[in-house]
Structure 1
Amino acid sequence: MRTGFAVPQFGPFADPRRSARTCTALEALGCHSLWVADRLLAPRAAPEGYPGGKDMPARYGTHLDPLIALAAAAAATGRVRLGSSTLNALWQPPLVLARALTSLDLLSGGRLDVGIGMGWMRQEYEAAGVPRQGRGERLEETLDVLDAVWCSDPVVHTGRLWTIPESTVLPKPVQAPRPPVLLGGFSPQALERVGRRADGWLAASMPQAHLDGLWAVAAEAAGRAGRDPAALRRVFRVNPDVTSSAADPSEAHHRGTVRQICDHLRTVCTGPADEVLVDLQLTTDSSEQYLDLAGRFLAELA
């Protein structure tokens, strides 16, 4: 099973040199991929939409920029895939985003996986000065611009939100025709978009019945678009709450012993393109703890 880990970038891990050293060590342990996340702020009051209506973990208020953290990870490694889960793509113009992502693909020697989403927090949209209304349409045009920049020469785009006159935009990414694009989201609209135009889905570890219902939407959309659903990647993120003794089996998709959580991950990873992303930043407080627990997950999932 392909297993990846979060690039350390939040709370006590928000130190670029420490993060880079940990990425080097994670690659040496044998992981397949490393992934950054994206937060602008952590409201003191519970934000709308946060799971369970709880306050966000305080450490999300201390963070490294995801693209800079990914550049540091690229420089500190030589083999692992490097991705974002997820990069909130709507907070910057897509032409600017395309330039940064192209540079990352070049820096990494063609190891970039572009995982993007729309974000969910109203306060972050307000702070970024980007309208939250119409974000689905904004994401669709963002994907159009990325494709134009990466796959066309010259580049030209005319849309409702952005216009690019016929232009030279070089260099192109190492990966042809472009880096893989994976999309996040858990609504029917998001899964339809995954099936219709993405290379895969940034999923989450969840109960099997819920997963099956969501994935059916993407598979049906892929079929309607003349695409093979079996070719789509699925990356199952888990932010594990690791316990020393067995937890309730109904919680094993996110809470329990390492073996319990891994047993669930083995159950949901059924396709040849499926993989796991384990984020240990809410579970550990030091690089030593992070690497020790990462080694346990890798050994169990091997």
Structure 2
Amino acid sequence: MRIGFAVPQYGAFADPKFIGGASARLEEMGYDSLWTADRILAPLTPSDPYPGGDGTMPPAFATFFDPLAALTLAAVNTCEVRLGTSTLNALWQPPLLLARSLASLDLLSGERLDVGIGLGWLRDEYTATGVPWEGRGTRLEEALDVMEAVWTEDVVEHKGALWTVPPSHVRLKPAQRPRPPVLLAGFTPAALERVGRRADGWLGVALPPSDLRIAWGMVLGAAERAGRDPSELRMVVRVNPAIVAEPAAPVQVPHVGTVDQVVEYLRAVAEVGADEVLVDVQASARSREDLLELAESVITGLRAS
């Protein structure tokens, strides 16, 4: 199982020098991948509860470094580690522009980009970007069509319900051919079906292993129905634990727990079939030094297993 870690990018960690330096240090520790997330605002009165804890959005989300800028800093300060987004909201900008940005990042990083895409959970962010909340799934399908064409076609042309691209040359292509791997998030039947039908993998989160197994089975079933080889798909599971000194009640793990408890959960995730895990401790790390110490403890525990 590959082991990933979140690039520092929000709250007290949204500092360019620290982002670059921490990325280099995380690669030295032996992490296989580094990932950025996507948040644009923290409403005073949110339209939707945060999907974790008691539903309160972490205060640190009010300061959020741009995910692609943060990943660029990670790219120029590392050599071999994979670089991904978990997750990037693909609907807040036109897909033609997003495809160009991601192709540029894949070139800059030397073929190391994984494109992880989600739809988000906060209606306020859609309102602020002028994007309709309704019809997100349909919008994502067409956005993926546009990006696929930009990345793979010599003459790019698209005419859909939402976007039109006249026959054009867009010759800036990703370094990875035919394109960077695309991973999709989501838990609804429609989202899991979409992963199996057209993505290279699924971005899951910290659910009980039995629930992950069920969701992954739905993805693999959708892949089979679409005539694809299910063995070629990847499962990446994101965990955002609050690391504590004393053991937490089992029902709280992995959302709260010691390093050993979180590591034990991640081992269970590997048994379910996860190809990769991603750990983010920014919401609970007390300092920059603490964040790196926790990162060291997590990977040491996993490598020892």
TM-score, normalisation: structure 1: 0.97
| 1:275-286 superposed matches below 5 A | 275-286=276-287
Please say if 1:238 is aligned against 2:233.
no
1:122 is matched with which residue?
Answer: 123
Q: Which residue is 2:207 aligned to?
A: 206
Query: Matches of 1:232 and 1:40 in 2, distance apart?
Result: 30
1:67-82 to 2 correspondence within 5 Å? 67-82=68-83
- Residues 259-285 of structure 1, C-alpha deviations (whole Å, 9 max, x = no match): 111111111113776101000111213
Q: 1:4: which partner in 2?
A: 4
Structure 2 portions without partners, runs of 5+: none
Please say if 1:89 is aligned against 2:90: yes
Report the Cα distance in structure 2 between the residues aligned to 1:271 and 1:159, rounded to whole angstroms. 39
Deviates more, 1:267-276 or 1:34-43: 267-276
Aligned CA RMSD, in angstroms, stands at 1.3
1:46, CA displacement in angstroms? 4.3
Q: State how 1:252-263 maps to structure 2 within 5 Å.
A: 252-263=253-264
Q: Which one is further off, 281-290 or 12-21?
A: 281-290
Moved more, 273-282 or 131-140: 273-282
Confirm or deny: 8 A CA contact 1:234 1:274 kept in the other structure. Answer: yes
The offset of 1:238, in angstroms, is: 0.5
**Residue type of the partner of 1:146?**
M
Letter in 2 for 1:270: E
SS in structure 2 at match of 1:182: strand
Matched residues in 2 for 1:53 and 1:244: separation?
Answer: 21
Q: Which amino acid aligns with 1:117?
A: G
Q: Tell me which moved more, 97-106 or 16-25.
A: 16-25
Unaligned runs of 5+ in 1: none
Q: Is the 8 A contact 2:235 2:273 kept in 1?
A: no
Residues 94-109 of structure 1 mapped to structure 2, 5 A cutoff: 94-109=95-110
Q: Which residue of 2 aligns with 1:132?
A: 133
Aligned to 2:230: 229
Aligned match of 2:42: 42
Q: After superposition, what is the alpha-carbon deviation per residue over 1:18-62, rounded to whole angstroms, capped at 9, x for unaligned?
A: 111111111111100000000010112244142255321111010
**Corresponding residue for residue 178 of structure 1:** 179
Cα distance in 2 for residues equivalent to 1:19 and 1:285: 16
Which residue in 2 is equivalent to 1:295? 296
Q: Write the distance in 1 (CA, Å) between the matches of 2:242 and 2:13.
A: 18
**TM-score, normalised via structure 2 length:** 0.96
User: Do the aligned partners of 1:47 and 1:121 also contact (CA within 8 Å) in 2?
Assistant: yes
Is contact 2:243–2:281 with CA below 8 Å preserved after alignment? no
Alignment correspondent of 1:13: 13
Deviation at 1:170, TM superposition (A): 1.4
Work out the number of aligned pairs and report it.
Answer: 302
- State the percentage of identical aligned residues: 57
Q: Which runs of 4+ in 1 moved over 6 A?
A: none
**SS in structure 2 opposite 1:59?**
helix
Q: Distance in 2 between matches of 1:22 and 1:214?
A: 33
Q: Say if 1:102 and 1:173, in contact at 8 Å, map to a contact too.
A: yes
Per-residue deviation, residues 120-154 of structure 1 (Å, max 9, x unmatched): 11100000111111110000001101110111101
The residue type equivalent to 1:5 in the other structure is F
Q: How many angstroms apart in 2 are the aligned matches of 1:8 and 1:264?
A: 23
